[in-house]
Amino acid sequence: MVITKNVDVLVVGGSVSGSMAAEVLAKGKLSTMLIEKEKTPRTKACSGIQFPYFEKLLGKTIPKDVLSQNQMTKTVIHIPEEEPSVETRKDMYKRTGVTWWKRMAYNIMDKQVSKMSPIKTDMSMYNFMRNTFDDWMNKEAITSGAEFHDQHELVSFVQNQDTTFTSTIKNKKDSTTLTVNSKYLIAADGPLSTIRRQMHPEHFTTDSDKKGGAMNYYFSANPNKDGIKVDEHALYQVYDANFNSDMFAWIYQKGVDRVNTKETGFPLWVVGTTFDNAQYKDHAEKFVNWACKTYNVGCEGVAKAHPSSENWALDVATLTPKDRFFFGDKNLLVVGDAAGLIDAYRGLGMDSAALSAQYAAKCILDQPNDAIACYTKKMMPITTPMGKKTSNSKHFFANNTALRFHVIDRFVLSGEGKKMVKCIGKNQKENDSDKMQLC
């Protein structure tokens, strides 16, 4: 049986960017349908850590019952132990364009950094499970007037001559087919985006070895009995090229707020990482072993853990910024991870996903005849620095000696940590999301 529906906007993907876009559009009185191919609530590999200004981007307060019981107030940063060679230093000096005085400062700091590591800083962050958070976002979209369907998968779409769309959707609950006619189509379907792949298959790698992913292992453990050495309110950021190819690997506690921990009553501990090749699970297992030896977390072994993984094929590793970031064409707008907004350098993506969704939705409402131009213009200040930093990070993560140089320069000499704190504070005082920066 085929059912036909007509709406102003079809939003594909029920995660942060999709539900945010659907909520804004529905509030703007456009008939909006939001679809998600998985059954909700659903678990995602994304860890669910955000700075407090994330509420400002959302334009609403996150309810306490959506947040994890345990909240983060500090970070603990591990720096690689391997000291850079003279050749590595020269290459990094040239690449980063550092001044002669910073070279001298680095040489002095490098001798002292071992005494500092791990580096501890105060940093307040929101902590939540993605299944709980995304489900709340979907319900917020529904409350605003959007029509939501989970277990509905986009099979194909056609852009008609009048720039409208005809989309074929499979209802996985009863195998019926839904035909949706819409004026606009928003792709919020993640780094494996069906919509973007149909438009630009060349943006996606066909080499299975280059298909990276994220991996989280969840361990339910008694911190007193099991001797876990992790500060329950700290996010542990471990920079090691053996564990992560783009950012840091992580360890922290969620609290007793996941279905499979309620029976034990013990907190849930997260040990996870990402890697840009098909062996990302192998790298994650190596990190679990390190976490066990260093902090006594994850010693139960991965076989007894509750795993959550997510892979991607969008070739962010080799695409130039020009091709990596794709915002759509005519009345089709691409947001969030589907647009290439996976920001490995910062280790964050939900804020850029929410912001891109708001921009896309507002441009449809404010400039309906040229929404794509409006949206692209708004996104340029975000993607230009993101693309540059991501391109440079590949050199920094080539090995641990280069990575040690990068981390010392980034957090100690260049003062990015202080700049981040200042940025967060400024965003907290800002009520206009258009004026916010991604910290």
Range of weakest confidence among 92-96, 221-225, 361-365, 366-370: 92-96
Question: Could you give the domains of the chain?
Answer: 2-44+130-205+316-396 (3.50.50.60)
Tokens of 372: 């794509």
Of 229, 235, 243, 332, nearest in space to 281 by CA? 243
Q: How many residues does the chain have?
A: 439
Q: Give the separation between CA 370 and CA 368, rounded to whole angstroms.
A: 6
Q: Give the separation between CA 45 and CA 350, rounded to whole angstroms.
A: 13
The confidence score (pLDDT) of residue 314 equals 47
The confidence score (pLDDT) of residue 416 equals 62
Would you tell me how many other CB atoms lie within 10 Å of the CB of residue 181? 14
Range of weakest confidence among 101-110, 223-232, 350-359: 101-110
Q: Give the separation between CA 271 and CA 322, rounded to whole angstroms.
A: 34
Using one digit for the tens of pLDDT, what is the confidence trace for 109-119?
666 666 667 88
Range of weakest confidence among 2-6, 210-214, 265-269, 392-396: 392-396
pTM for this structure? 0.86
133-146 burial string, b = 16+ CB within 10 Å, else e? bbbbbbebbbebbb
Contact (Cβ atoms closer than 8 angstroms) between residue 19 and residue 194 = no
The confidence score (pLDDT) of residue 341 equals 87
Of 417, 430, 329, nearest in space to 77 by CA? 417
- Cα atoms in the Cβ-side hemisphere of radius 13 Å centred on 320: 2
Q: Compute the C-alpha angle 32/180/198, nearest 5°.
A: 100
DSSP symbols for 173-197: TT--EEEEEEEEEEE---TT-HHHH
Evaluate if residue 365 carries a pLDDT over 80: yes
Q: Give the separation between CA 314 and CA 189, rounded to whole angstroms.
A: 12
What is the maximum alpha-carbon separation in the chain? 73
DSSP symbols for 81-101: -PPPPHHHHHHHHHHHT--HH
Residues whose CB is less than 8 angstroms from the CB of residue 386 and which lie 6 or more positions away in sequence, other chains included: 325, 341, 343, 345, 352, 438
Confidence label for 383 from pLDDT (cuts 50, 70 and 90)? confident
The confidence score (pLDDT) of residue 29 equals 97
Q: Give the separation between CA 305 and CA 79, rounded to whole angstroms.
A: 27
The confidence score (pLDDT) of residue 254 equals 86
Evaluate if residue 170 carries a pLDDT over 80: yes
Q: Give the separation between CA 193 and CA 37, rounded to whole angstroms.
A: 12
In a 10 Å sphere around its CB, with 0-12 CB exposed, 13-18 middle and 19+ buried, how is residue 389 labelled? middle
Confidence label for 143 from pLDDT (cuts 50, 70 and 90)? very high
Sheet of 72-78, strands arranged across: 49-50, 119-127, 72-78, 234-238, 249-255, 268-275, 213-220, 306-311
The confidence score (pLDDT) of residue 257 equals 53
- What is residue 343's DSSP assignment? B
Cis peptide before 201 (omega within 30 of 0): no
Evaluate if residue 427 carries a pLDDT over 70: no
Cis peptide before 191 (omega within 30 of 0): no
Average pLDDT, the chain: 82
